[in-house]
Chain A
């Protein structure tokens, strides 16, 4: 299985996402924002970073990139697409996901290991989790506060499309503690926290067992591999 990771001007976590794909057992394929070519990949990741310096709005200019024409078409045909942090912002700007992300409630950039509850295990990227699983992966953003109209929020909740929720103190003012959502079909997922930084023991969040041993993020990537094999 081949998973494309799109690099935009200002992407930071594209290499980490490629590494996560490799550790999960798939082949990462580097894709370029200026191309109109997905190189035949089976799934896509829009990585974190600060594309175009977050000018205009976070993710807004990247969402108008040449490759987004192909990304949007593939997503609408059911290809699994994961947007992480800046990638989540791009997915909302591209209207592949509802709602939007604004500056954190207290105005500060937040970087910490964040506990989450996985709320939806039907999506392409979360099918490997046990329902209600509590996981810890890094969170690092300045504009991660999820906003949506009351009507949209009710629909997301009613359709079970909240993929993950913050546990403990809400870090950024997100409505309903939302850390990630999916589209109606479940193939497109946006997450503010970073699963790709918790995929290899020695380089992840601390756990009760050992320092830096957390690999809770890996399941997002193994999920999409299993999901795609089942679908094939």
Chain B
């Protein structure tokens, strides 16, 4: 019997006002490749959390809570997006 699996994506970025040394290093590399039209790079994180069945309101609420308490640290990061990307059927 097939089961539905949903994926909830959480995106976290370093706070805009903080230095992002990782992004700066990548931006430097792009410059050295001659890609001078790009003025800056910031590097963040994407979490893909799967749940059996549909990503219902309860699952999204639980993920939103975890995004704020575990997946990000509000002192240095912002949660910039939470969304459901796909629902796939596993045979």
Contacts and interface: CB of A to CB of B under 8 A. Distances in A.
A107 B24 contact: yes
B22 A103 contact: yes
B57 interface: no
A106 B21 CA distance: 6
B75 A105 contact: no
B73 A100 contact: yes
Interface residues of A, number: 20
Interface in B63-79: 70-71, 73, 75-77
A102 B18 contact: yes
Interface stretch (A56-64, A66-74, A190-198, A203-211): A56-64
B75 A64 contact: no
B51 interface: no
Nearest to A58: B73
B21 A105 contact: yes
A147 interface: yes
A92 B18 CA distance: 17
Interface string A84-118: 00000000110000111011111100000000000
A64 B70 contact: yes
B70 A102 contact: no
Interface residues of B, number: 13
B73 A60 contact: yes
Contact of A105 (B19, B70, B76, B77): B19
Contacts of A147: 18, 75-76
B48 to A, nearest CB: 14
Contacts of B49: none
Pick from B18, B21, B25, B71 the residue with the most CB of A within 10 Å: B21
Contacts of B76: 57, 100, 102, 147
A60 to B, nearest CB: 7
A93 B69 CA distance: 10
Interface in B22-57: 22, 24-25
A131 interface: no
Given A60-B70, A64-B70, A107 B22 contact: yes
A107 B21 contact: yes
Given A107-B25, A173-B19, A102 B14 contact: yes
Query: Which 3 pairs show the lowest CB-CB distances between chains A and B?
Result: A100-B75, A107-B21, A100-B76
Interface of A: 56-57, 60, 64, 92-93, 98-100, 102-107, 145, 147-149, 173
Given A93-B73, A104-B21, 7 more contacts: A92-B73, A92-B75, A102-B14, A103-B22, A105-B19, A107-B21, A173-B19
